[in-house]
């Protein structure tokens, strides 16, 4: 079946295919808005790296492999990394190798690398057959419980009880959380003396980019138009919680920033915690404190080499998550990632780009 670049006019058909094959119950209009925003309105959208569509003999769209392009610097040289997002094939076309053809075409494109952070085992095997690599460290997830009583109340009562029972259980859990924090010697809120945080703006992100990420051989090449678009999109992605993006300073010097999606009485999803090497623990602690202040009962994120010490010292629990995968044309790009010399986080991948909350 012919494979061609996805066009803006294909968005209604692509959204319908996505709903039909992924069994997504989101409104058609919401998925169309999402596809328009992340596939065509992204300031870094690259005509050389389009999303792909497969069509049958009648011109009907039967396969979709969407992607976004992220600009990075590798030793200060610009590189492009393709981030696959939506991959779906009409059931009636699945016996015609459409999925394999789409994957081969997308992964074999002119980008310097391809990276995904939500792969299942079949996807890992598919990428492996195409010379992709599993990123073992980044395929681990950490969870840090912030409010023990509330966390277990939510897992046990919140999933089974009525709204009235859940509200009562939360009232009982709150003082127990305070006792647990004091017993563990943890601050219940706030930052150390001299450390402050403020909302992360596009201008602040770009101004601090080199100072905070200069240690990394591979790092995002954020500019202000893209940063503004990215934060706006995250603010509209409500299914994972509200956007929490803060820049952290000490005595006027920028230490780093953190970006996450926080659900009150739920989990704070860390998308990016970027810090100077000597300040990684402070910035990680600032993320936990901010999440706790917004009512999260736990925080969760992807294990990344620059944060390993900070995460493990915070008594976090590790488990295997979805597979993080990379296929690189250049060995030095893959080496930078495998050796922990990359600032490559969930903020730049596909994990938050679903259709919910639109």
User: Strand 298-302 vs strand 52-55: parallel, antiparallel, or unpaired?
Assistant: unpaired
The yes-or-no verdict on residue 24 having pLDDT over 80 is no
Residues 267, 300 contacting (CB under 8 angstroms): yes
Q: What is the pLDDT of residues 222-250, one digit of tens each?
A: 999 999 999 999 998 877 789 999 999 99
Question: Helix, strand, or coil here: 337?
Answer: helix
- CB burial of 175-188 (b: ≥16 within 10 Å; e: otherwise) equals eebeebbeeeeeee
Categorize the per-residue pLDDT at 147 as very low, low, confident or very high, splitting at 50, 70 and 90. confident
Query: Which CATH number does 141-329 carry?
Result: 3.40.630.30
Least confident window among 182-186, 309-313, 329-333, 344-348: 182-186
Angle between helices 121-129 and 98-107 (to 10 degrees): 60
How many Å apart are CA 266 and CA 299, to the nearest integer? 9
How many Å apart are CA 292 and CA 62, to the nearest integer? 45
Categorize the per-residue pLDDT at 17 as very low, low, confident or very high, splitting at 50, 70 and 90. very high
The yes-or-no verdict on residue 313 having pLDDT over 90 is no
How many Å apart are CA 141 and CA 224, to the nearest integer? 30
Q: What is the pLDDT of residues 48-73, one digit of tens each?
A: 999 999 998 888 999 999 999 999 99
Sorted by where each begins, the domain ranges of the chain are 3-111, 141-329
80: its two tokens: 């492009």
Q: Which DSSP letter does residue 58 get? A: T
Q: Which DSSP letter does residue 252 get? A: T
Query: Which CATH number does 3-111 carry?
Result: 3.40.630.30
How many Å apart are CA 168 and CA 152, to the nearest integer? 14
The yes-or-no verdict on residue 189 having pLDDT over 80 is no
Pinpoint the alpha helices (H) of the chain: 11-22, 28-39, 98-107, 121-129, 148-153, 163-183, 202-213, 224-236, 280-293, 308-313, 331-338
Residue closest to 223 by CA, chosen among 56, 44, 63: 44
């Amino acid at each position: 079946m012919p494979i061609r670049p996805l066009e803006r006019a294909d968005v209604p058909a692509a959204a319908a295919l996505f709903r039909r094959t992924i069994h997504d119950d989101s409104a058609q209009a919401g998925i169309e808005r999402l596809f328009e925003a992340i596939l065509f309105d992204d300031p870094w959208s690259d005509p050389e790296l389009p999303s792909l569509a497969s069509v049958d003999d009648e011109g009907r769209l039967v396969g979709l492999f969407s992607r976004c392009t992220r600009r990075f610097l590798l030793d200060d040289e610009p590189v492009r990394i393709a981030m696959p997002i939506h991959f779906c094939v009409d059931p009636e076309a699945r016996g015609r190798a459409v999925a394999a053809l789409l994957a081969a075409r997308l992964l074999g494109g002119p980008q310097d690398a391809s990276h995904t952070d939500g792969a299942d085992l079949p996807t890992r095997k598919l990428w492996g057959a195409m010379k992709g690599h599993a990123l073992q460290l980044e395929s681990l997830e950490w969870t840090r419980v912030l409010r023990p009583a509330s966390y277990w109340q939510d897992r046990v009562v919140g999933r089974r009880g009525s709204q009235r029972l859940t509200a009562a259980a939360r009232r009982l859990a709150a003082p127990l959380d305070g006792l647990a924090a004091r017993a563990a010697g943890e601050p219940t809120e706030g930052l150390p003396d001299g450390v402050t945080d403020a909302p992360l703006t596009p201008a602040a992100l770009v101004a601090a980019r080199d100072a905070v990420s200069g240690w990394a051989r591979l790092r995002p090449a954020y500019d202000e138009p893209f940063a503004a678009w990215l934060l706006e999109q995250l603010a509209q992605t409500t299914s994972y919680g509200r956007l929490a993006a803060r820049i952290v300073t000490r005595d006027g010097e920028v230490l780093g920033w953190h970006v996450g999606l926080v659900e009150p009485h739920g989990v704070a999803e860390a998308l990016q915690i970027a810090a100077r090497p000597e300040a990684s623990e402070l910035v990680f602690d600032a993320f936990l404190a901010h999440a706790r202040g917004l009512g999260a009962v736990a925080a969760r994120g992807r294990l990344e080499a620059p944060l390993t010490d900070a995460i493990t010292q915070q008594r976090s629990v590790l488990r295997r998550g979805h597979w993080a995968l990379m296929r690189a044309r250049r060995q030095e790009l893959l080496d930078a990632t495998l050796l922990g010399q990359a600032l490559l986080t969930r903020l730049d991948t596909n994990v938050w780009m679903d259709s919910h909350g639109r």
